[in-house]
Amino acid sequence: MRTLFLPLLASTLAFAEFDVSGHLDLDSQVYLTRPESKNANSFTAKQILEFTYTHDDLTVFSKLYAQEAYYDFTTESEKTERTFARLDELYAKYDFENDALKVGKTIEFWGSLELRNIVDGFNPKEFRDDLFASNKLGVWNMAYSHYTESGELSLIVKLDEQEQKMAAFPYVYYFFPEFVTYDGTLKTQDGVNRPSVYLKYSGSTDTEYALDYAVIFENGYDSLRYFSTDTPENLAPNSPTVGYPTSFEQNAFIVNKIMTYNTLVVDTTLFKLEALYAKVDEDKNVGDYSHIALGVEHTLENFYESGSLGLIAEYYRFDTYEDDKYNDLELFETMQDDLFIGARYSFNNANDSSLVGGGIFDLEYDEQVYYMKFDSRFAESFKIAVDYYYIVPSTTELTAYAFLGTHQRVAVNLAYYF
């Protein structure tokens, strides 16, 4: 038996393929305008390691993520609690002739817009990282997909809900007051292991005007969550917290939800649409709501030194439909009536360099966000990204940006890929 097993194992490994890749990042940020009680900067080391095993129609993939924050190794008063490691993905996928089955922990990406993908809610966001970074938490799920000539039909069952921990108060992107306790506890309507079921169809048309589209129906926990407290107001005399509750928790509620994201190419103009409607299942604080975003991007080829310039405009609208429940302010929704005007310049060079930026204008609460990002590769394995953000929050309403305050930052990220 042993004589037969060893040659069989050797022949199997001979046709299998292993791949190891990843990148190491050094991320530095300087906060030019911030509350005096917050750290003036942050320095973070990040490591991403990916393993891929393929054999015939089987693929096994895993992704590990770790980060270390400089201030977590300094004085107690400066600690940000941003040092951690996690398993982002670990799944097995088997491809049949016209079908595929994937089981494990994954990160999915849905959407089509430049500034923000409002339908991209399958994975919760990492609260302990940069406010503007796309850093998401993997979730355990099972997915079955069937491929047609023009599209893909998928049934996805998400098996759990991830808690979202926060950094400590000295970190500039922790927005609660110092006296508030939040430990990442997630309060759910029907337990964290209540499955969320998604039915998704995506496809494209082969016509003069190329249309890519996706429609998703969900029954389960919504990607939108809210904070609440069961603690009474602090009535201790002469206390800085008098009149305020001191402990908050996050809440996940069940919805029936329909979502769509689409792109249409007409000559050198790209039209985009993302929209969703959520029917909330009897939550005492949140009622039905909708979110819609429209975008257009027109590209000018050979604009300067053979590069291309993309002119971008996007509009976002968020509405709630029950007056006695939470509105956009209480849900910390930042894109409730906002216009984004921006541009992207792609350099015609071997380094895939690009420059993108613009302004976000809140048409209801009179606040603005201005930003600019530049990224480029160099020396084959290195990538550099530089960004600048300037936030002018509302002076009349307690928006999410008003909690942050007037904010200005410069960031540099240097990454080595292998």
Report CA 115 to chain centroid distance, whole Å: 11
pLDDT of residue 235: 46
Evaluate if residue 224 carries a pLDDT over 80: yes
- Taking a C-beta distance cutoff of 8 angstroms, is the pair 117, 111 a contact? yes
Question: Would you place residue 244 in the very low, low, confident or very high pLDDT band (cuts 50, 70, 90)?
Answer: low
pLDDT at 96 over 70: yes
Query: What is the distance between the alpha carbons of residues 193 and 280, in angstroms, rounded to a whole number?
Result: 19
Long-range contacts, 225-230 (Cβ 8 Å, 24+): 225/124, 225/164, 225/186, 225/250, 225/251, 225/252, 225/253, 226/250, 226/251, 226/285, 226/286, 226/326, 226/330, 226/331, 226/332, 227/182, 227/251, 227/332, 228/187, 228/285
Topology of domain 18-417, CATH: Porin (2.40.160)
Sign of CA dihedral 70, 33, 341, 357: negative
Which single residue is written with the structure tokens 């047609």? 148
Rounded mean pLDDT, 71-93: 97
Q: Which residues neighbour 267 within 8 Å (Cβ) at sequence distance 6 or greater? A: none
Average pLDDT, the chain: 93
User: How confident is residue 370, by pLDDT bands cut at 50, 70 and 90?
Assistant: very high
Please report which confidence band the pLDDT of residue 181 belongs to, taking 50, 70 and 90 as the band edges.
Answer: confident
In which band, very low, low, confident or very high, does the pLDDT at 144 lie, cut at 50, 70 and 90? very high
pLDDT digits (tens, 9 = 90+) for 378-415: 999 999 999 999 999 999 999 999 999 999 999 999 99
The pLDDT value given to residue 266 = 96
Q: How many other CB atoms sit within 10 Å of the CB of residue 323?
A: 7
The predicted-structure confidence for 326-366, as pLDDT tens digits, reads as follows 999 999 999 999 999 999 999 988 889 999 999 999 999 99
Handedness of CA 229, 233, 236, 237 (dihedral sign): positive
Residue 33 has pLDDT above 90, yes or no: yes
Cα separation, 189 vs 80, whole angstroms: 30
pLDDT higher than threshold 90 for residue 211: yes
In the predicted structure, residue 247 carries a pLDDT above the cut 60: yes
pLDDT at 238: 52
Q: Which residues contact 258 (CB under 8 A, 6 or more apart)?
A: 215, 216, 217, 218, 276, 277
Q: How far apart are CA 399 and CA 367, in angstroms?
A: 9
With bands split at pLDDT 50, 70 and 90, how would you rate the model's confidence at 2?
Answer: very low
Q: What is the DSSP letter of 247?
A: B
Residue 39 has pLDDT above 70, yes or no: yes
**Stretch 95-106: mean pLDDT, rounded?**
97
396 CB neighbour count, 10 Å cutoff: 9
* Mean pLDDT on 285-292: 98
Residue type, 70: Y
- Region class of 178: left (phi > 0), else alpha (psi between -120 and 50), else beta: alpha
Q: How far apart are CA 153 and CA 38, in angstroms?
A: 48
pTM of the model: 0.90
